[in-house]
Structure 1
Amino acid sequence: MITELPEPIIQHIMSFLTYKDAAKMSVLSKHFASAWNCFPSISFDETLNMGSCARLKEDSYEQPINGIDSVIRYAIENKVKELKLDIVGRQKFKFQAHYNLPMKVFSAHSIRVLSLKGFMLEPPQNLTVNCPSIKELNLEMCKGMQTLKISGEKLKIVVIELCQGLDKVEIDASNLESFSFGGEAHSSCRINLVTCKSLKYLSLRNAQVTDEWIKHEVAQFLRLEVLKLVYCRLLENFHVSNSNLKTVELRNCFKLQKIEIYARSLNTFAYGGDLKPSQVIIYSPCVHAKLSLSADRGLSDHWYTNLREFLACFDHCKELEIDCDMDMALIVPINVRKNLLAPLYDLNYLKLVTEQKPKNINDLVDGLMWLAPCLSKLSFISNCQEKSLKFEYDKARTIEDDLDCCKLRPIKCWRHSIRKVTMGNFDDCENMILEKFLAESALRLEATSREGNACAEV
């Protein structure tokens, strides 16, 4: 009955076989032979024996490969639509590209997806590549050019990763939707995407990105939805205005001083680095902010003052997620709190991402609740497990006896108005510790409960 299966299913079965076994299978019937001859993917083993089954293997080669020409010729003659060539493989030593790739592979009319890893691209210095039929182009660990110009009306996706010596990339593709560039450490490759008016996704790492480039070039990408910048060392004042932007990610841009984003559709803002930006302005009604902070080991009063000023920029966010390498960095000391106002008074939902279980859950809850005294939910996420505290308040009730912590302060801390707390997913020991802490600290607490259990009156 297997001979009656549709050809795509037979090809799927063949994809799990070695090419030799699949070739043997093809002689059993005309239907199998037809499926074998029309197989959509070509595979080569470490000796470059050709077969037409399964996925391209990632093998390691320490010596120059002399059979790639025949491989490419075979693929083009058989009108292969997807061609992935990797001569780096899983080798552990530092790879040096040495094989000169035939340029005819870029102009092959059948190829729709082309992925190259570890090749020498010639002519050297200035390379111009025309891709008339390719929709997706991936270049990784290729070398031999300082300037790379890529054009193609059908190009939708271009990925350039770790191409040594590259100084400038220019893309001329009016239908390009996604461009990703990852340079080597300390590289400053220039990027020109002026003609890419259809761009929706842009990711740059170790690229020459300046304030003017962001302000003027990015403004032309009217369809842009995702913008990611990592290790862009020249960037100081990030200013972008785009109504379609949904995600902005800025990580390790060490000179960054000011961030301004005008994007009414923005729902995710991610930042990674230190507290250098003195001003962060995000005009969006429902943004979810994700902050990855590297704390000063000294944790001076100056650190906590900067932390307060930085976090205050995210008071209007729908959700705030903080990933910090030190729990103590988020617990503002009592003596410092006296001179500061809580930065996140309007925040409803705060997440803390930690690698390890907090050492002192009481101090951490107190510190986070000082930062955001009116939270509806406080979550702790560690090892893909979430623990949470949900709060209910009675702010309308008159408080007759203020706690000493808030005398003469216009805004009262969290201890004054919490009426009920629901704890979720904490272990028994943590539940008991938190219940005792809340009962002793919250002035108006009426009850605590654990999710799925009845309330316990305080």
Structure 2
Amino acid sequence: MNYFAIRSLPSSKQMMLKRALQNLRVPSESKRKRISGTVYDKTCAIDLCAEASGAHRKRKREQFSIIDKNVKLKKQQTAKDSNSVDKRVASMDYISQLPDTVIHIILSLLRSTKDAARTSILSKRWRDMWISFSVLTFDQRTFQELEGVQSMENCNEVFKQFIDKSLQSHLDRKLGIYKFVLHLTSYDPALVHHMERWFGIATENNAKELGFHVHVKGTRRYILPKNVFAAEGITGLRLQGCKLETCSIIKLPHLQKLYLRNLRVDQQIIMNLISSCPLIDDLRLIQCSGLSCLDISSLLKLDRVEVHCCNVLKKIDITAPSLQAFWYCGKKQVSCKINLKDCESLKRLTLEDSRMTNNQFHGRFFSFPLLEKLELSNCLKLTNIRIGSHRLNRLVLRGCKNLEEAEIDTPNLLSFEYQGDKFPFSFLNPKCLKEVKLSFAPMEDRKLKLNLKSEPLWFPKLREFLGKFDHKGLKLVVRTSKVIVSFYY
């Protein structure tokens, strides 16, 4: 190929030849002698340039093929990785492998029935769990509002028919019942017979939780159907506004949670009920009349006890080595003697007792070496107390108006909350505190209101309290009247 032949080539070919000539290196004479079977001269150099352009295109094709192979390998590797992730996720789905009863407990802890229903899309097992989890709640007041029934008599009849049809539909589809709850607005003798049948259907279908709530009007009350006391499979029973009658046969061997609210009870009935349910771990008595003494010694798994506003209750005696939480809220007119000395595992104690004295408090508090949370509310007779504990990490004091001095020696205290009109505390070692919430009542002294330069009476002690901190990380919130001030140290 001569010069004119090269000039006749297209410009793109000429540029390609030019680059090839620039990159081509003709070996020296000594190197040519070492290469056998090949003759190099200027003419063959031009021919080699033409071949070099083809080699250049071949190298590009090879590079593209290598890139394609790399892309394919990466896609295959990504697919393998995703498959391995799916396998790992599938192998790590331990929740779906839990027993049915445990999954039902998980569903019952969700905020609403709709949230529980959404779990049915996870898998076939969760769909089956949701079907067997059915929660049937019949609220007469809500039903009346939705249906717009004005007459109470008509409302009761329509409401009764609605429950009958719902239960029958449930039985026709062979669905289980996990929870059955009935809310009634008032007493109606016509519903007594039907109630026993409804609760019978629920227990025969292995319901785990039963609830019966009545809004009390007047003196007439529903008597709890006796078949509820023979529901051997239930684990939770919540009763409000009804009446318990003496029952000779109580078969609730699996009952764990017993909530009684606004009930007229007999001393012997409560004792028989508690003694017949050895697995109770959560017991709550709220506004129950007729109970003068609460004596518990047979519940070895008891974890939580709450007693609120039981009018004539004068004595609480609990022997429960596993008790973790106790909450008592008493009436101003009645003094209640509380004995928890044999509950050494107690970790959370809440007392709202306006008649509790300093000595009574010290006798209760220092009996619990493992206590982690203490809350005192409206304890009006407390004047001078000492709180010393190495395990206490949360302390709350509200409405203790007559408290003049409180010595607090809690080196591991993390949270402190106070509500009152002064600052009667002396902290010996507050260095671990992370959060302090103080709420002071508005000043009543007119002179202090008029003199804006005057400090509140509690301010010097607050300044002294803050002077004991030599570390960062404290959150301080101070509320007084409508003013809220937050500090971060």
TM-score of the superposed pair, with normalisation by structure 1: 0.60
> Is residue 41 from structure 1 mapped to residue 179 from structure 2 by the alignment?
yes
Residue 9 of structure 1: aligned partner: 130
- 2:382, 2:403 within 8 Å by CA — same for their partners in 1? yes
Post-superposition offset of 1:256? 0.8
Residue 139 of structure 1: aligned partner: 285
- 1:81, 1:111 within 8 Å by CA — same for their partners in 2? yes
What secondary structure is seen at the aligned counterpart in 2 of 1:213?
helix
**Does the C-alpha gap of structure 1 residues 313 and 229 become closer, same or farther in structure 2, counting only changes over 3 Å?**
farther
Q: 1:324 aligns with which of 461, 480, 484?
A: 480
Q: 1:80 aligns with which of 229, 234, 241?
A: 234
Post-superposition offset of 1:258? 1.1
What secondary structure is seen at the aligned counterpart in 2 of 1:221?
coil
Larger deviation, residues 304-313 vs 2-11: 2-11
**Does the C-alpha gap of structure 1 residues 58 and 126 become closer, same or farther in structure 2, counting only changes over 3 Å?**
closer
Residue 118 of structure 1: aligned partner: 262
Q: In structure 1, what residue type is equivalent to 2:485? A: L
Q: 2:224 aligns with which of 52, 59, 68?
A: 68
Structure 2 residues without counterparts, runs of 5 or longer: 1-119, 139-161, 185-190
Number of residue pairs matched by the alignment:
314
> Is residue 213 from structure 1 mapped to residue 334 from structure 2 by the alignment?
no
> Is residue 195 from structure 1 mapped to residue 337 from structure 2 by the alignment?
no
Post-superposition offset of 1:165? 1.8
- 2:136, 2:180 within 8 Å by CA — same for their partners in 1? no
> Is residue 56 from structure 1 mapped to residue 211 from structure 2 by the alignment?
yes
- 1:169, 1:189 within 8 Å by CA — same for their partners in 2? yes
**Does the C-alpha gap of structure 1 residues 122 and 312 become closer, same or farther in structure 2, counting only changes over 3 Å?**
same
| Superimposed CA distance per residue, residues 70-119 of structure 1 (whole angstroms, 9 cap, x where no aligned partner) | 2533xx3342110001117xxxxxxxxxx345477988322110001122
Q: 1:309 aligns with which of 450, 460, 463?
A: 460
Q: In structure 2, what residue type is equivalent to 1:180? A: W
CA distance in 1, matches of 2:249, 2:311: 21
- 2:398, 2:420 within 8 Å by CA — same for their partners in 1? yes
What secondary structure is seen at the aligned counterpart in 2 of 1:202?
strand
**Does the C-alpha gap of structure 1 residues 225 and 106 become closer, same or farther in structure 2, counting only changes over 3 Å?**
farther
- 1:179, 1:201 within 8 Å by CA — same for their partners in 2? yes
Structure 1 residues without counterparts, runs of 5 or longer: 89-98, 328-350, 354-374, 378-458
Larger helix percent? 2
**Does the C-alpha gap of structure 1 residues 4 and 24 become closer, same or farther in structure 2, counting only changes over 3 Å?**
farther
| Superimposed CA distance per residue, residues 167-209 of structure 1 (whole angstroms, 9 cap, x where no aligned partner) | 2222111110011111234543222111111111110112543
What secondary structure is seen at the aligned counterpart in 1 of 2:318?
strand
| Root-mean-square deviation over aligned CA pairs | 3.5
> Is residue 236 from structure 1 mapped to residue 383 from structure 2 by the alignment?
yes
**Does the C-alpha gap of structure 1 residues 200 and 232 become closer, same or farther in structure 2, counting only changes over 3 Å?**
same
Q: Looking at CA atoms only, which structure, 1 or 2, has the larger radius of gyration?
A: 2
CA distance in 1, matches of 2:223, 2:216: 12
- 1:101, 1:120 within 8 Å by CA — same for their partners in 2? no
Q: 2:304 aligns with which of 157, 166, 189?
A: 157
Q: In structure 1, what residue type is equivalent to 2:386? A: H
Residue 12 of structure 2: aligned partner: none
CA distance in 2, matches of 1:80, 1:232: 38
- 2:308, 2:328 within 8 Å by CA — same for their partners in 1? yes
Larger strand percent? 1
CA distance in 2, matches of 1:103, 1:208: 36
Post-superposition offset of 1:237? 1.5
